[in-house]
Chains A and B, each alone.
Chain A
Amino acid sequence: MSILVYAELRDGAVRPVTREALGEAKRLAATLGGPVTVVACAAADASFAALGEAGADKVLFAQHAAFARYDSAGHAAAVAAAAKAVGAKAVLIPASAAGKDLAPRVAALLGVGMAGDCTALDASGGKLVATRPVMAGKAYEKLAFPLSPAVVTLRPKNFAAAAPEAGKAAAVEAFAFTWDAAAPRAVVTGVSGESGGKVDLTEAEIIVSGGRGLKAPEHFALIENLAAALGATVGASRAVVDAGWRPHGEQVGQTGKTVSPKLYVAVGISGAIQHLAGMSSSRCIVAINKDPEAPIFKVADYGVVGDLFEVVPALTDAIQKLH
């Protein structure tokens, strides 16, 4: 019996979402019992023993030359095999682009259902109950798992990483699994970055989003400057994405990304229900809009009624002066 965590790696390094999943696994282990085992799919060891500090008791290292990059079929085979090998009660996977792709495949291989993008897990009754948003956060469902293991993905920034246990090393074991790499499969041939090191919307602490109130794509420089001052990631409403002012990856809302940063600044965005669906779980919301009746003010913690072309430069200035 064990709780299994999928280690999400990028360029050989463990991503922060893995530490969040490990923190939650450790908390669950306190009630569900069992050690916390990590399965790391990689081409080479990337000091996996250090995952001990983040809560891992043991690391199963599923090594394959094809695993220099994410491999949907191969990782699914390895994780499902690891879940069986350790008799996992629960399999925790970060709800990242890779994790969301992986988890349903793992569940299907194991013949169990799953809960994706969970915002809370509870095992206080001895059984796992997952809470997750549906209809882009307009409601939450609570799910139980009649079959074992429970496969869940954890929404980034909703689970706390464990306080590091300095010096605790996890035992790293080579994990042998069967997988036919010659069978037809999707192969990642390249990865292109939008801009080096930019934090993704779903993982950002602070987001500044712009809408149609900006009137023209070049005015997004105002949003970018404010974002730079705040160390924030830029988001957008669908109106400006559909107009071709901003790339699809920046859209927040029901058919865009669902985000929950600690601070969300909505500039020239009216607050349509589909936009609110994607951002209303943010910890603190600021709205800047010239229309005092704009629905965005209904969810905003702090509102400024005014012309964004005056307010945003003044705010950028004030933030810069803080540093």
Chain B
Amino acid sequence: MLQVVCVKQVPDSDTRVKVAADGRTLDPNGVTLVLNPYDEFAVEQSLRVKEALAAGEVVAVSLGNAGVQTTLRNVLALGADRAIHLKSDTPAPDALAVAKALAEAIKGLDAGLVWLGKSAIDDDGAQVGPMLATLLGRPCVTNVCKFELAGNVAKVEREIEGGREQLEVPLPAVFTTDKGLNEPRFASLKGIMAAKKKSIEERPVDLGAPNVERLALELPPPRAAGRIVGEGAGAVAELVRALREEAKVL
């Protein structure tokens, strides 16, 4: 079975946000780009399925500028077989534009499983997966934290408020992965060497007109300075008083 894993390159989670001069985008200076953490679970799960079936191929797909090839190379080092780079020099305007480009690339691939992260930690969108599934007309489960394949049906779980949902899904299908699904592996030296010889196919894409338009990117208003109410258990009385009388939260 062929599997596709969609991966995004994002600023790492240590990034301190500075807004660029245009007032609408992140200042890229000093930002380290990494594989989106949720996509690590997607990559790992695709590899586990391939290993369990002892067959098939994992194709990594990423949309972005020339820089995303570093991330694709990392995913190849983890064990993906080949990669498709959907090349666009302008940043993707919104999730629907990304989902359309991914759908176009995946349509021709006869993929039994398509994997994505539950959300990208830069836009926190959590949109591309379910949009892609809808465009492909395939079943979809978001935020999967448990996955089991029984023939042509996947048995999965996702977290909901105060509990978990169990679902059954016929393949081909699309899944977005949540933390807890698996423990992602690290690339081995052998994997890193092997990745150098794997192919990254470059395809230029046109993302079209924006479906949503960003007017501004702003920093949150700074929090008013707080205070240390005291030390040790002796501070408890003053803390409780402050919470009741000043903050009025008790």
Contact = CB atoms under 8 A, between A and B. Distances in A.
Contacts of A73: 139-140
Question: Do most interface residues of chain A lie in helix, strand or loop, or is the interface mixed?
Answer: mixed
Given A104-B130, A133-B124, A143-B212, A255 B13 contact: yes
A193 B96 contact: no
Nearest to B19: A139
Contacts of B243: 263, 284, 286, 302
B190 interface: no
B180 interface: yes
B194 interface: no
Given A101-B142, A108-B135, A141 B99 contact: no
B14 interface: yes
Interface in B125-142: 125-131, 133-135, 138-142
A187 B168 contact: yes
A303 B121 contact: no
Nearest to B24: A141
Contacts of A301: 223-224, 226-227, 247
A250 to B, nearest CB: 11
B37 interface: yes
A76 interface: yes
Nearest to B169: A186
A43 B50 CA distance: 39
B162 to A, nearest CB: 5
Contacts of A178: none
B232 A307 contact: yes
Given A140-B220, A302-B243, A322 B96 contact: no
Given A104-B130, A303-B229, A141 B214 contact: yes
Interface in A139-197: 139-147, 184-195, 197
Given A108-B96, A255-B121, A184 B215 contact: no
Contact of A255 (B17, B38, B219): B38
Contacts of A98: 160
A298 B173 CA distance: 45
A153 to B, nearest CB: 9
A219 interface: no
B247 A101 contact: no
A142 B215 contact: yes
B211 A147 contact: yes
Name the residue in B13, B95, B145 with the highest tally of chain A Cβ atoms < 10 Å from its Cβ: B13
Interface in A276-311: 277, 280-281, 283-286, 292, 297, 299-307, 310-311
A65 interface: no
B230 interface: yes
A315 interface: yes
14 contacts: A105-B131, A107-B96, A113-B212, A116-B126, A136-B13, A146-B209, A186-B140, A194-B164, A195-B162, A263-B247, A280-B223, A299-B223, A303-B229, A322-B250
Interface of A: 10, 70, 72-73, 76, 96-98, 100-105, 107-109, 111-117, 129, 132-147, 184-195, 197-200, 202-203, 206, 230, 248-249, 251, 254-256, 258, 262-263, 273-274, 277, 280-281, 283-286, 292, 297, 299-307, 310-311, 313-315, 318-319, 322
Given A104-B131, A138-B17, A302-B247, 12 more contacts: A104-B134, A113-B212, A114-B95, A139-B19, A143-B213, A146-B212, A184-B139, A188-B165, A303-B228, A304-B229, A304-B230, A315-B236
Q: Which 10 A-B pairs have the closest CB atoms?
A: A113-B211, A113-B212, A248-B180, A200-B161, A108-B134, A306-B232, A314-B233, A193-B163, A104-B130, A97-B160
Interface of B: 11, 13-17, 19, 26, 37-38, 94-97, 99, 121-131, 133-135, 138-143, 145, 158-170, 173, 178-180, 209-220, 223-224, 226-233, 235-237, 239-240, 242-244, 247, 249-250
